[in-house]
Amino acid sequence: MTTTAHDPGAPSADNPGRADIRARTLRRDRWWLAPLVNALGLMTFVVYATIRSFWGSAYYVADYHYLSPFYSPCFSASCVPGSSHFGTFLPEFPPWIPLALLSLPFLLGFRLTCYYYRKSYYRAFWMSPPACAVSEPHGKYTGETRFPLILQNAHRYFFYMAFLISLINTYDMVVAFQSDAPDGSARFGIGLGNVILLVNVIGLWLYTLSCHSCRHITGGRLKHFSRHPVRYKVWTGVSALNTRHMLFAWITIGTLILTDLYIMLVASGTISDLRIVN
Ligand code: FES
């Protein structure tokens, strides 16, 4: 009796449109490295941001008006004096409610539904698929056509809120250039905290403006760019930023942690702010 050798390039009996390849992947490079690094990076951010959001202290440096982005805007009567740049129209919160209750869900939603992060966590956690040309463990693929993943389509609405919160973060950053003089009056000052806040705000704007939804809002659904020269110009700029969206996504994870960590250390008295101009 003779047997026929299996031809890995032949069409699959189960799926005639695809080659019948039994191996999970034919890749020989370290394809697993990127999803692993992504998983570790995202986990670090989620754990840090969750802990700090519920920490409830060491988020504001009164002397230099440094406010952590994880606590901005602070609208509760529980916010430490000076940290509420837009008033305290919400009552006191119990310790298990984050003080930035109004902004955190939108920021979380903005990042969770971000096109880049989707790719990143679908690969890192869902393994759907873990990498190009590596088969996924799931039997079927329904995409983002049904609950809960259909909610990813809300990304553009999270973009509007994230844009507003970036404006608020910018205001916080500008206010922090005013520090308290020994006699209690306000004066201009620059410390390392200002530099860190500024870098963070620049990163947040680069990330927000390079968003795919921003690109669509500025130049999408136009039939004739020549009739909309201003929108075309803006769209061209946003498109240029958009090519680096992944980079800005990771940079802002780093700057958000760095900014909050620095403010926490100064606010708790662990270190002193390095003053450049008093
Ligand atoms: Fe990433 Fe919009 S696509 S923030």
pLDDT tens track for 122-159: 999 999 889 999 988 888 888 889 999 999 999 999 99
> Would the pTM count as exceeding 0.80?
yes
CA of 2 to the centre of ligand 1 (A): 57
Closest listed residue to residue 209, CA positions, set 258, 260, 252: 252
Measured between alpha carbons, how far is 19 from 8 in angstroms, rounded to an integer? 7
Q: pLDDT at position 1, please? A: 43
pLDDT at 36 over 90: yes
Q: Is omega for the bond preceding 69 within 30 degrees of 0, making it cis? A: no
Q: pLDDT at position 221, please? A: 87
CA of 148 to the centre of ligand 1 (A): 18
Going by C-beta distance under 8 Å and a sequence separation of 6 or more, which residues neighbour residue 62? 80, 81, 82, 180
Q: Is 106 in the pocket of ligand 1 (CB under 6 A)?
A: no
pLDDT at 5 over 60: no
Residue 192 is encoded by which pair of tokens? 């390392």
Closest listed residue to residue 276, CA positions, set 188, 201, 198: 188
